[in-house]
Amino acid sequence: MWKRKSTSFRRNFSPLKHVLPFRLLLPACIHLIRFQRESRLMDVMLYKLTSATLYGIEAQAVDMEIDIAGGLPGMIIVGLPDTSIRESKDRVRAAMKNSGFPLPPAKIVINLAPADLKKEGSGFDLPLSVGLLAHLGHFPAARLADYLFLGELALDGRVKPVRGVLACAVLAEKEGFRGIVCPKGNEKEAALVRSLAVYGLNSLTEVVSLLKDPAAWDPAECALPTGEDEVGSGVNFAHIHGQAQVKRALEVAAAGGHHVMMTGPPGAGKTLLARAVPSIMPPLSELEIIEVTRIYSAVGLLGRRGAILNRPFRSPHHTVTDAGLIGGGLFPRPGEVTLAHQGILFLDELPEFRRKVLEDLRQPLEDGQITISRGARAVTFPSDFMLMAAMNPYEDVFIGAEQTSVDYGDAMRRRYYSKISGPLMDRIDIQVEVPKVPYGALSAVQGGEESKEIRHRIIAARNRQEKRLRQRGKKRNDQMEMEEIKRFCVPDGEGMRLLETAVERLGFSARGYTRVLKVARTIADLAGEDRIRTGHISEAIQYRLKNASIKTE
């Protein structure tokens, strides 16, 4: 009986039957027991440092909390990270290993606060690796509070450039950080914030060296050229033959920041004239350089340039969408009106743009900014630009040019202009005809006045405007509101009567009336006159005659 039980026991619990699973589980069990024993001796460690994320073109501080404790090895990132941030744990591990800082197995939890703010971008690689290096004891952890960290890591430990570093540097100065640690490729733009210590570094080993001994490293210096002696980018006006009246209108527009519409047949030189306007625009001030550079840095269009020194010139195609022109997206991005901030937005063949897209221009033309709402959040982009538009007088200009009847030509013109709304046309201060250039002007040796000479007059006129409007927080005549217009745009008696006749006979709207006064004020500034005279009013009225004679929907 006993023998049978023993045989049954050996048959059911044979070592040969269970030896293979035990051999597989034994090393894992030993490793788990050893790790649990070490984890009991390991204190819970929490490291805190600061990075930033972009929302629009503004940077928002993100507090990174790194908790390292015992448990199964792994890395978890919480706090609404996007895909590029979730993937950063693999880049960080590889970069630290290849830089000679292998990370021991541990349970790592990374919290990005505030938790309700969506974060995007690859700039969190560097702060995450710095927090882990502090855990390994490569430098005093107390120094994490002195700097704002931003940068992407390559697998070999190099620190790669990211978007929006200038906005993050402005944030670091505002929040009172000692300095900012960023990629070497972003050093020049960050150094535009002169009061902030900027450390542009090439690799993870350099970051460790900096945090070990900050006194051994010198911050980057701002090397911002003034640009005062440079002629802005663009075609020189001296290379454009003829079109003296159009050049004069563009000079007035550039001096006061007024919007311009050019109408003429193909080949008359509308696009060439538009591309020549940047060469007569005044240079950007240091504050304007920072504003424009911050926009291009946030969009990722800065490239290797440390700053945008010339006024932007943007010329989108007529197939541009609403979001492409105005801005938008899940994470709101600037559109063309913001990329043209402090510069020129040129819309060639204006009636070919979709009407809804053009109607979206009303707010930025009036307010100098555009607000985009996304759920519970809204972002405001600057859009203080000078609009330049060009169009043909008829849809098929060659058929229209063959007509001898003026009435038929006006009918074709009205039909083509009806693609543009009246309120939008009313916001364009200067409208000028661009006729065909005669052979005599084309074959002339001299093209006209140099851009540099025109630019000097425009700078002098701008200085007069800024001096007059400085106390009211404005710089140009086109920015004047009713209070400034009533005070600074009072014509003489004959000029007032001429303006009254124009309003009554030509049907100027209230907006058209104020814009004539603004343009007249700019013409007087170019002439060095303190008072608006009859000739200034007469010239300003001529620039709106087309708007009065062609009625649009």
How far apart (Å, rounded) are the C-alpha atoms in residues 94 and 108?
Answer: 16
The pLDDT, as a whole number, for residue 408 is 46
Which architecture, in CATH terms, is 45-216?
A: 2-Layer Sandwich (3.30)
Relative to beta strand 152-153, strand 159-160 is antiparallel
The angle that helices 165-175 and 286-299 make with each other, rounded to 10 degrees, is 120
pLDDT value of position 502: 83
Residue 314, strand partner residues? 345
pTM for the structure as a whole:
0.86
At 334-372, the pLDDT tens digits run: 999 999 999 999 999 999 999 999 999 998 998 899 998
- Segment holding 374, helix H or strand E: strand 369-374
The first and second tokens of residue 22, run together, are 């035990």
What type of residue is 389? A
Number of H helices, E strands in the chain: 25, 18
Each residue's pLDDT expressed in tens, for the chain with a length of 553 residues? 444 545 554 555 455 444 445 555 556 555 555 545 444 434 457 899 999 999 889 999 999 999 998 778 889 999 999 999 999 999 999 999 999 999 888 899 999 999 988 899 899 999 999 999 999 999 999 999 999 999 999 999 999 999 999 999 999 999 999 999 999 999 999 999 999 999 999 999 999 999 999 999 999 988 776 544 444 567 899 888 888 899 999 999 999 999 999 998 888 899 999 999 999 999 999 999 999 999 999 999 998 888 999 999 999 999 999 999 999 887 789 999 999 999 999 999 999 999 999 999 998 998 899 998 877 788 999 999 999 999 988 776 655 444 444 444 667 777 777 888 888 988 999 999 998 888 777 767 666 789 999 999 999 999 999 999 998 889 999 999 999 999 999 998 898 999 888 888 888 888 889 999 999 999 999 999 999 999 999 999 999 865 544 444 4
**Tokens found for residue 119:** 């974060």
Angle between helices 510-526 and 534-542 (to 10 degrees): 120
Residue 213 CA to residue 206 CA, distance in Å, equals 11
Helix, strand, coil share of the chain (percent; to 5):
50, 15, 35
Beta-carbon count within 10 A of 542 CB: 17
| Cis peptide bond N-terminal to 438, omega within 30 | no
Q: What is the CB neighbour count within 10 angstroms for residue 344? A: 23
| CA separation for the pair 398, 411 (Å, rounded) | 15
Tokens of 213: 């001994």
Evaluate the CA torsion angle 229, 186, 143, 120 in order and state its sign.
positive
Looking at residue 188, its pLDDT comes to 93
Dist. CA 431–CA 359, nearest whole Å: 19
- The residues near 259 (Cβ < 8 Å, ≥ 6 apart) are 253, 365, 386, 387, 388, 389, 427, 428, 429, 430, 478
In 3-state terms, what secondary structure has residue 47?
strand
Predicted pLDDT of residue 16: 47
- C-alpha closest to that of 358 among 384, 322, 328: 322
Q: Looking at residue 99, what is its pLDDT? A: 95
Q: Which of 35, 30, 132, 138 is nearest to 91 (CA)?
A: 132
Based on C-alpha coordinates, what's the Rg of the chain?
33
Question: For residue range 301-318, what is the model confidence (pLDDT) as tens digits?
Answer: 998 888 999 999 999 999
Spacing of C-alpha 509 from chain mean position: 34
Distance CA 165, CA 201 (A): 13
| Three-state secondary structure call for residue 2 | helix
Do residues 160 and 153 touch, judged by C-beta distance below 8 A?
Answer: yes
Rounded distance between C-alpha atoms, residue 27 and residue 54, angstroms: 47
One DSSP character per residue, 529-540 reads -SSB-HHHHHHH
Do 204 and 94 form a contact (C-beta atoms < 8 A)?
A: no
Label residue 286 exposed, middle or buried (CB < 10 Å: 0-12, 13-18, 19+).
Answer: middle
Question: From CA 298, how far away is CA 379, in angstroms rounded?
Answer: 14
DSSP 264-304: --TTSSHHHHHHHGGGGSPPPPHHHHHHHHHHHHHHT--TT
For residue 32, what pLDDT is reported? 52
Amino acid at 191: A
Kindly list the distances between the CA atom of residue 272 and the CA atoms of 155, 266, 374, 438, in Å, as whole numbers in the listed order.
48, 11, 39, 16
| Closest by CA position to 69, among listed 31, 110, 127, 99 | 110
Half-sphere exposure of 233 (CA within 13 A, CB side): 10
The predicted structure's pLDDT at residue 27 = 60
pLDDT of residue 12: 52
Query: How many other CB atoms sit within 10 Å of the CB of residue 483?
Result: 9
**DSSP summary character for residue 203:** B
Q: Would you say 96 and 133 are in contact if contact means Cβ atoms under 8 Å apart? A: yes
Asked if 428 contacts 545 with a C-beta cutoff of 8 angstroms, the reply is: no
Residue with tokens 């994470």: 331
Q: How many angstroms from the chain centroid is the CA of residue 522?
A: 29
Q: Alpha-carbon distance 181 to 71, whole Å?
A: 32
Q: How far is CA 354 from CA 218, 319, 325, in A?
A: 53, 8, 11
CB-CB contact of 509 with 424 (8 Å):
no
Spatial CB neighbours of 81, under 8 Å, sequence gap ≥ 6 = 112, 119, 124
Q: Comparing C-alpha atoms, which of 306, 336, 301 is closest to residue 319?
A: 336
